[in-house]
Structure 1
Amino acid sequence: MLQIHPSMDPISGFCHRTRIYTCLRPPIPLPPVDQPLSVSEFCLQTSTGGATTFVVNATTGESLSFSQFFSQVRSLAYSLQQRYSLLCQNNVAFVLSPPSILIPVVYFALLSLGIIVSPANPLSSDSEIAHQIQLSNPVVAFATSETSHKIPTLKHGTILLDSPEFILLLTQSDINDDAVKTVKVNQSDTAAILYSSGTTGRVKGVMITHRNLIAKMTVTRFFNTNQGGSNEEPPRSVTFITVPFFHVFGFFMLLAAVFSANSVVILERFNFEEMLRAVEKYKVTSMPVSPPLVLAFVKSELTKKCDLSSLQGLGCGGAPLGEDIAQRFKEKFPNVLLVQVFSIYSSLSIYVNTLNFFKD
């Protein structure tokens, strides 16, 4: 139990003596701060998915099971160590690619080696990319044939995700955990450099440590398994990720999906009608949405052409959702929980796995 100091308000957690607000929830156990641990290892060691589909590209139908994903992460990490031996821990890898089922493999392989992941919007202009590269100072890049021209010459070059050579890096046979040289990654090490939107000036690079991400995953699981008085593991969900993996929200949701062994559905290029078809085909249970997308759900007649009965919850963020639109959504989809997201760091799995708690 959390000890409440006499000078602390038991309702707000505000201490009149120190003038500090303290969370009134019990502390959540985290790995010892001095324990070497990457967020990749943390997520992979607790994730159990096996033959279950991990990620599917609804545009092409390509998919990866969890077992295939684990195998490709291990193979890529091994290949990078063998072929790019000069890649050192805490070097930065710039990632510039459209949505792809290969992106999660790249992220987790790099994170496991202590290499800092720095993804960017592939639609950014050449000058914007040049500014981001100047900020992060990468030594290698992962891109596609369509985006590689935006990247200047780097120390270890640019690896094309759509090349036969890259596919070979993912398919090294007979690779076990012992084959990959152990890299000591401290939780205080930087895991990723993500970029601000640039609404208050030029884009800024934001450094996030492995412990930041580990704490976020731990909080998500704690919330999921303790709401409503249940200590059982939450049911597996299928999430349609409408936000790109280079975005902070998409980045966190990807980590959370691996950590919780949930399935993920993506589109190469977002289209409302294709999204609805994907919800029907893959029995999507949850997705993050913006107010304009909620409005599209409310107004579009296309929603009547697809079976959306699998949907359980939508997490709306990015801007406040008008009460009128929320009410109209509730009337049209009475069995779908619509939750306003107040923090971009919240994972949608929280909303979906607490449906019964809120309904009761």
Structure 2
Amino acid sequence: MLYRSRLPDIHVPEEDIFHFLFERPDRRSSEHAELLVDAHSNRRMTAGQLRRACLHFAGGLQQLGARDGQVLAIFAPNDIDYPTALFGSLAAGLTVTTANPAYHVHELVHQLRDSRAQYLVTSPEVLAVAQKAAAEVGIPTERVVLMGAREKSGAEPLRASGHATVRALLAAQPISAPVRLAAAETFTRTAYLCYSSGTTGRPKGVELTHRNIVANLLQFVAEESEGWRRRSAKSDVQVCMLPLYHAYALVVDLQVAVLRRSTVIIMRRFQLEQLLQLIQQHRVTMLYIVPPICLKLAKDPLVDNYDLSSLRDMVCGAAPLGPEVIEAVRKRLNVRVRQLYGMTEAAPVILMGAAEDAIEDSTGILLPNHEARLLDPEGNDVPLGEAGELCVRGPNVMKGYLNNPTATANTIDADGFLHSGDIARLDANGHFYVVDRIKELIKYKGFQVAPADLEAVLQEHDAVADAAVVGVMCEEQATELPKAYVALKPTHIGRITEQELVAYVDARVAAHKRLRGGAEFIEVIPRSPSGKILRRLLRERHANPPAPLVRNKSKVGVASL
């Protein structure tokens, strides 16, 4: 059965990203809107200043030899100059690949080599890794460009190192006009190469075209204002604490704000107390978050020390979130909390909680211009209300995996449907409920157990800061058993046992979902920077138990992002 969004389809203009965001007459009329604020230095940029900086940066790239169609990599933590490097590269006609600043040399080498990057923008704190990787793939020193706070205070040593700097490129003559793609090119020209998490192999380059990104930006804002229209410059103030190399922050946190001319306060990385200070100081109205941050807002005592009354809306994505956590945040902060579902391959948002009738345990409704199917393992449509693999088709679905036609064919079928690998069901009102990943479902004696269900129950307990559930093989019973890993709040360490938590869960779930694999306390739940639980590491921990550790109470809790 084919499902369509309950929202009307929208028109997607055949424009490249830079012209869509900056060159339209209605965008140029809002150039004085304050767009970017550096959370650390309080440096600010208006929309007009960002546009002009991008044109200068593009001119600087051309002086370095950059040509239309080449690839530039950004390997750096969040920075107020990140958007300049990003959009300036697009203005020069380049493709941008964004790399995780936590990468080691061999990981960065893989991405640089696979993407065929000829330029690299990085920052002083990861320069050593960037230099080694650039040397290994043949990117010359003068094409490694430095940005970041320390560039301002330590420009002489950086110049002496032979690297260009963002500041130096901004002093270049601006390009006369940004590269404009023909309408047909917007469908085929890759704008961003975002690399998949690589949890089941080496990361793959996801080719997102200009058309993909423009479509998803309009799909996203259309959910909140049927028939898109730009909000006023002062409508929203938000904090970007998620890593900009990730598609969630890159598109939703940054580019939706640029489209709306909302203000974005850019944090280098998430730190709870600084986030709370920023919300209070700047009267922040909107947050895009991931489950570990939502858990902190629900449970951390620090939250009570700050005035967060300006907040009105939060959207949580990247991983499932239990309704109890949503309700706890809603009651504590008097704020609307909605879930979001997406994947990098969909540029990235597919579902979002409806603005007018969001349901706490629902992942959301289909955004406009989407078609969806729910399939059983044999590829047949499941009846309404039953769970199946979520498959979607729309203008935001990726071009494919770079240099990997086999992986592309395994993910996008002959009818153009992107197979998500996620299990979902749909109710009669168009609300989807994402249950779990196909490969993460625990098979207990023929029953399917969704880890997210058990994690939601665990997170209801007052002692629990974070939790993850995986399946562990029991040879005696020839089946998988659900096992919980739990990070306790510091105040509850030593006051509750693993057995008590197992009993708590078992009393609240069906018999086949019980924690027959037990529970284990650990300091932090391993998560990716986007908030996804790294279950592979937990399964490895079970297979090869570490030596007993002396717990450092100051570190127990939700893993930092």
**TM-score normalised per structure 1:** 0.82
Matched, 1:66 2:47: yes
Residue of structure 2 equivalent to 1:55:
36
Residue of structure 2 equivalent to 1:248:
247
| In 2, Cα distance between equivalents of 1:134 and 1:182 | 25
Matched, 1:26 2:3: no
Matched, 1:38 2:16: yes
Deviation by residue 1:173-194 (Cα, 9 ceiling, x = unmatched): 7x5x7x2464546202000100
Residue of structure 2 equivalent to 1:267:
267
Gap runs ≥5 in structure 2? 156-164, 359-561
Tell me which structure has the larger Cα radius of gyration. Answer: 2
Q: Report 1:193-208 matches (<5 A).
A: 193-208=193-208
Cα offset, 1:210, TM superposition? 0.6
Does the 8 Å contact 2:73/2:98 carry over to 1? yes
Deviation by residue 1:240-270 (Cα, 9 ceiling, x = unmatched): 1221110010110211111111111121232
Does the 8 Å contact 1:38/1:114 carry over to 2? no
Cα offset, 1:233, TM superposition? 4.3
Cα offset, 1:328, TM superposition? 2.0
Deviation by residue 1:83-103 (Cα, 9 ceiling, x = unmatched): 123x22221111111110000
Cα offset, 1:22, TM superposition? 4.7
Cα offset, 1:64, TM superposition? 1.4
Does the 8 Å contact 1:148/1:158 carry over to 2? no
Residue of structure 2 equivalent to 1:10:
none
Matched, 1:158 2:144: yes
| In 2, Cα distance between equivalents of 1:181 and 1:337 | 39
| In 1, Cα distance between equivalents of 2:117 and 2:48 | 30
SS at match of 2:124: coil
Does the 8 Å contact 1:288/1:315 carry over to 2? yes
* Alpha-carbon spacing, 1:118–1:232, altered in 2? closer, same or farther (3 Å): closer
**TM-score normalised per structure 2:** 0.54
Matched, 1:238 2:244: no
Residue of structure 1 equivalent to 2:127:
148
Aligned-partner residue type, residue 16 of structure 2 = S
Deviation by residue 1:165-224 (Cα, 9 ceiling, x = unmatched): 431321447x5x7x2464546202000100111212221111110110111122233333
Residue of structure 2 equivalent to 1:226:
226
Cα offset, 1:113, TM superposition? 2.0
Matched, 1:84 2:87: no
| In 2, Cα distance between equivalents of 1:222 and 1:326 | 24
Deviation by residue 1:275-300 (Cα, 9 ceiling, x = unmatched): 00001111111112222222211222
Aligned-partner residue type, residue 297 of structure 1 = L
Cα offset, 1:21, TM superposition? 4.4
Which residue of 99, 111, 115 corresponds with 2:78? 99
Residue of structure 2 equivalent to 1:289:
289
| In 1, Cα distance between equivalents of 2:144 and 2:92 | 18
| In 1, Cα distance between equivalents of 2:303 and 2:35 | 26
Aligned-partner residue type, residue 147 of structure 2 = L
Does the 8 Å contact 1:240/1:284 carry over to 2? yes
| In 2, Cα distance between equivalents of 1:194 and 1:74 | 23
Does the 8 Å contact 2:241/2:269 carry over to 1? no
Cα offset, 1:358, TM superposition? 4.1
| In 1, Cα distance between equivalents of 2:179 and 2:111 | 30
Deviation by residue 1:42-73 (Cα, 9 ceiling, x = unmatched): 11134354333211121222221222111111
Matched, 1:331 2:331: yes
| In 1, Cα distance between equivalents of 2:229 and 2:190 | 33
> CA RMSD for the aligned pairs?
2.5
| In 2, Cα distance between equivalents of 1:270 and 1:24 | 35
The aligned length equals 324
Does the 8 Å contact 2:12/2:218 carry over to 1? yes
* Alpha-carbon spacing, 1:265–1:161, altered in 2? closer, same or farther (3 Å): same
Residue of structure 2 equivalent to 1:346:
349
SS at match of 1:292: helix
| In 2, Cα distance between equivalents of 1:130 and 1:201 | 16
| In 2, Cα distance between equivalents of 1:222 and 1:212 | 15
Higher strand share: 2
Deviation by residue 1:313-354 (Cα, 9 ceiling, x = unmatched): 1111222212222222222123x0011222253399x87xx7
Does the 8 Å contact 2:59/2:92 carry over to 1? no
Residue of structure 1 equivalent to 2:409:
none
Say which is worse superposed, 136-145 or 293-302, in terms of deviation: 293-302
Identity %: 25
